[in-house]
Structures are given as structure tokens and as C-alpha cells.
Amino acid sequence: MAIAYDRAPAGYDRRAQQAAGGKGGVQKMGGASGLADVLNVILEKGIVIDAWVRVSIIGIEIVTIEARVVIASVDTYLRYAEAIGLTSLAAAPRGSEAIAPPAGLPGLPTGFVGPTEEEILAYLDAHPDGVRLGELQAYFGAEREELQGILNRLVQEDAAVLDAERRLYRPGNVLAPAIP
Amino acid sequence: MHSTSSQPATYVYGVVPAEPFQTGHPPLRVPGIGGHGDPVRTVVLRDLAAVVSDVPGLRVDLRRENLLDHQRVLEEVLHRSDVLPFSFGTVATNDEEVREVLLHDGYDMLCEQLAYTRGCVELEVKVFWERERLFAEIAEESEDIRALRDRIPLLPADEAAAESITLGQLTEREIELKSEWEADAVLDALDPIAVDVLVSPKLSDTMVLNAACLVERVREPELDVVVAALAEERSGRMVFHYVGPLPPYSFINLAFEARG
């Protein structure tokens, strides 16, 4: 097997997957050329003598190990929903490209200047029967996407609970999430 | 004794049977870690040897060049002999410490481990979904998901946001089920050829399988054929990353006690 040491390591990102997938089948790589694929092995496996492990972590330009832990979060769900939403566009007949992307798929909040998490939690605590996003939006006069981003985080942290069926946000740990 | 890092120290790559590296065999030509071309040499105790090179101090930077150096040395050694690899970044104070703490104190364990992986190499089989295809399949296969997908664009914005989360949760469950089913199919094909298979946690949410196979060198070509066939059958749906041969990193099972 030829080992091409100067080859850039393949990352785990979609681009690399597609590039590899475009050929169909599989390309066998040596550990040095496939460094990205064996990084976790080289760093975490093998013989370890604790007192002798002396790595100083600088130069993390190496390659990122994407999502060491696969975290289920609202942001993840929204990404999945978006990906599923796109399947309908792909399946749509020609001439229907004007269909707007599925509504209600906010991106990650950027440059947020609206209410803080604490303010939203205080409002939720004052309304234990649940609050709709629209109500929060009206109360705080905030951008929907920004509010959604915060609520996503709160739900992820169990600080808030989303009753997905009735689309109500409640204070955390009052009810089990409606969706398992 | 480890208080200073300016003293030269000994970087350890792995443990090998000593014979293939002794007088009469050519020296290893691959440069040692650190970019200074330090020769790779062995520290020997009886019939075991540690593959080492000099480094300027006790700390090794976790950077790409050093990882590559570590891996290249081990690949070169693997060409010649079985090797028990060290995790990256293992530095002993000096050769004497390598001989005493590693080779002497660990002698029995190392021999046992060498026997277990004798004649074997490790191959990584990582399988990923083609992302777009994954979601297209899920939409095709699940009527519930399709219906919800088509309803969301018609809803008021706030309802659509909440329903999107539901859609995402349903989708996540489908991803898990499909991935598990596909991973089992791949493992069923790998199992008969491998001496041992270790399945590690997935590295991304569209990963199907993260497996390491311990395979006898003589059976590596068989595994090549099987993996190629698996990948071919799933072409367009999944991408295979097949990496190796590597020293048996994932099949090391040694516990070194701290030395008083």
C-alpha cells in the first residue's frame, strides 16, 4: 500500500464525505495519510503510563474531531427538521423552486441584544401553565429567532420544558418533556 | 525528578520483540519525533525492546507534525515486526526509566499482550451516512415524518417552530434506528475475518459505525475485499473510511501501576 504522507487529512465534515463518496467504494489509507481518522486512536488508545503522558496541547490546528459526544439538543432537532424539510424541495416538481424553505427553522442567534435567559426564565416561572413563543415575543418585543435560540438552550439545559404537542414552554422540571 | 523540562528525555513509541531490531538488521531510517531528525533506536531488556528517540524535554506538543512523526515511526516499525504502540506523547525521563519501569516491571504483561496481538494489525472501519441521502431515505420510509414535513410550511411561525422540533426528534430516532441496523450488517461481515472487533462511540451524528478490527496480517487482504464489497454495495448511501494497517492501538489492555 502506498502511503502518501503529504496528503491532507480527510476531515469528518460533509465535504470530505462527499469527496470520498463520489468515487464509490472505499479508499484504503495508511495511518499517517488518514491521520484525521486515527487521531482519536493515537491520542486515546495504546499503552498508557500515566506519569509519562506529557502532552502540551498547543497547535490545535490539527483537525477538529467533530462532536466527540453526539449531543441531542434542540439545535440538533432543528437541523434535522431543516434537512428533512429540504427533502420536500428536492422532490418538488420543476417550476416550484419559488416555494419558501420551511418556516420556523431559525438559525443560531447572532449578536443577541434581547432579554436574558434569566428574564425569560422569570417569565416562565410566573406562568407555570405554559407560554407560547408568540406571547414571549410580544412581551419582550424581541426577534422571534433570538427568543427561539435562547429557549432552545434553556430546553437543552432542562431549565425550560417544551410541550411540543401544545407548543407551550414551561419552567423546567415541572413536567416531563412531551416527546420522549 | 521530573522537575526540569530542559533535560533531554526519551520519547517512547512502542514495545517490540527485540530480535528484528538487533545487530544484523538494518537500523530504522525513519526520523524521530520533533523535526530534528533524531535517530529512532531501541532500549533492550532480554527479548523485549522499547522503540524510542531523544527529545529535548519532557513535554511534546500536540501538533500535527508530531502526530505524524509518531505515527510514521510506528508504521515503519510495523513493517518489520509486531509492535505494541504507546499513546501519543509518552516521554520517560531517560532510557534507564524505560528499561526499569516499562520493560522490567511490565515484562510479563507485555509478553502476554504481545502474544495476544501476535501477527495481527489493526484496521479502522468508519462508516458515515451520505447526509442528504440519509434524510431522503427517512422521508421516503416514514409516512409520519413526511406528513409533518409537509404540514409545517402551512403553520403560523410559532407553531411551525415547535413542530420543527418534533420533526427533528422523530428524525433523530429514525437516524438511530437506521444506523444501528446498518452497523449490525457491517459488523456481521467483519466478524468472521477479524480476531477481535472493538466498536467505539460515534464521532458525529451521521456516523454509522466506528469500529477497529484486529486482524491477522495474512488475512488483511480478505478484509480489504470484504470492506470494498461493503462499501460498493452502499455506494451513494454511505461513505467508508478504511485506515490501516496500524499497530493494535485499540486492543492494548495493560495497566501500569505508578511506581512508588
Domain edges within chain A: 1-70, 74-171
Asked whether residue B179 falls in the same domain as residue B63, the answer is no
> Do B102 and B195 share a domain, yes or no?
no
Query: pLDDT digits over A47-101, tens only?
Result: 988 888 877 765 443 333 443 344 557 888 888 999 998 887 665 544 444 333 3
**Burial code of A42-68, b = ≥16 C-beta within 10 A, e = fewer?**
bbebbbbbeebebbeeeeeebbeebee
Helix/strand/coil for B178: helix
Q: Which chain B residue is nearest to residue A162, measuring alpha carbons?
A: B162
| pLDDT at A19 > cutoff 90 | no
The span from the CA of A81 to the CA of B152, in Å, is 10
The answer to whether residues B82 and B135 belong to one domain is no
- Same domain? For B111 and B189 the reply is no
pLDDT over threshold 90, residue A11: no
Query: Do B189 and B208 belong to one domain?
Result: yes
Specify the DSSP class assigned to residue B229: H
- B246 shares a domain with B209: yes
Whether the pLDDT of residue A104 is over 50: the answer is: no
Whether residue B256 is contained in a domain is answered as: no
Q: Give the mutation candidate from A1, A6, A38, A88 for the B interface (greatest B CB count, under 10 A).
A: A38
B238 lies in the same domain as B139: yes
Residue B197 confidence class, pLDDT cut points 50, 70, 90: very high
Q: Does B138 touch chain A (CB under 8 A)?
A: yes
Question: Helix, strand, coil % (nearest 5) of chain A?
Answer: 40, 10, 50
Question: B43 and B14: one domain?
Answer: yes
pLDDT score recorded for residue B182: 97
Residue whose C-alpha is closest to residue A1's, from B210, B121, B248:
B121
Region class of B108: left (phi > 0), else alpha (psi between -120 and 50), else beta: alpha
Q: What is the pLDDT of residue A95?
A: 42
Measured at the alpha carbon of residue B244, what is the angle toward residues B239 and B250, in degrees to the nearest 5?
A: 100
Domain match, B128 and B198 both = yes
State the pairing for strand pair A168-171/B9-17.
unpaired
Q: How far is CA B103 from CA B41, B43, B45, B133, in A?
A: 15, 9, 6, 51
Do A25 and B240 lie within an 8 Å CB cutoff? yes
Residues in chain B: 260
Write down the pTM of the prediction. Answer: 0.70
**Cβ separation of A103 and B153 shorter than 8 Å?**
yes
Q: What is the mean pLDDT of residues B255-260?
A: 64
Using alpha carbons, select from A10, A107, A22, A21 the residue that is nearest to residue A64: A10
Task: Verify that B134 and B196 share a domain, yes or no.
Answer: yes
Which pLDDT score is estimated for B178?
A: 96
Record: fold of A74-171? Arc Repressor Mutant, subunit A (1.10.10)
- Residue A56 CA to residue A39 CA, distance in Å, equals 16
Q: Tell me whether residue B140 is in a domain.
A: yes
The distance of A4 to chain B (nearest Cα, Å) reads 11
**Residue numbers of the domain that contains B39:** 9-116
Total domain count, chain B: 2
Residues of chain B with C-beta less than 8 angstroms from the C-beta of A41: 122, 124, 212, 246, 249-250
Beta-carbon contacts of B83 under 8 Å, excluding residues fewer than 6 positions away, are B13, B14, B15, B16, B51, B74, B77, B247
Please judge whether B91 and A69 are an interchain contact, meaning their C-beta atoms are less than 8 angstroms apart: no
Give per-residue pLDDT as tens, B201-217: 887 888 999 999 999 99
Q: Let me know if residue B20 belongs to a domain.
A: yes
Q: Is the pLDDT of residue B45 over 70?
A: yes
Check if the beta carbon of residue B130 is closer than 8 Å to that of residue B238: yes
* Closest Cβ–Cβ partner in A35, A45, A70 for B71: A35
Taking residues B30-58, what's their average pLDDT? 95
In the Cβ-directed half-sphere of B16, how many Cα atoms lie within 13 Å?
27
Candidates A28, A34, A77; nearest CB to B165: A77
In a shared domain, residues B183 and B215: yes
Task: Please provide the average confidence, as pLDDT, over all residues in chain B.
Answer: 93
Question: Using the beta-carbon criterion (under 8 Å), do B90 and A53 form an inter-chain contact?
Answer: yes
CATH number for the domain spanning B238: value is 3.30.70
Q: Are residues B102 and B184 in the same domain?
A: no
Is B161 within the bounds of a domain?
A: no
Looking at the domain assignment, is residue B149 inside a domain? no
With 50 as the cut, is the pLDDT of residue B259 above it? yes
